[in-house]
Amino acid sequence: MSADEASVTHIVMARVVGGATEAQIDEVVAALAALPPQIPEIRSYSVGRDLGLLDGNWDIAVTGVFASAEDFHAYVAHPAHQKVVRELLDPISVERIRVQFAS
């Protein structure tokens, strides 16, 4: 099944730098959580901090679902998303991984 035939699920995980404060991490999570009302292409969206249940986990995770690859690309390019990434996430993240799959 290709992305043209099904919805697209997008998953991102980020590790933050050791000097990132709890307030900075909370600000990123809150800003990401505020995106769905601003970006109509988002079908569903979850964001949260790691619960700290296991050592070595990533710090922040996002899962988004989009009706199409076109909607996913609209989300990525949306100014509100770009602002959160550029102004809040980039300054405190040391590493990010992401995947998109047809769902």
Q: What does CATH list as the number for 8-102? A: 3.30.70.100
Residue range 29-61, pLDDT digits in tens:
999 999 999 999 999 999 999 999 999 999 999
Structure tokens that stand for 79 in this block: 């100014």
CA distance 70 to 3: 9
Structure tokens that stand for 61 in this block: 């995770």
User: Per-residue confidence at 4, pLDDT binned at 50, 70, 90?
Assistant: low
Claim: this prediction has a pTM higher than 0.95: no
CA distance 75 to 82: 9
Mean per-residue pLDDT for 63-90?
98
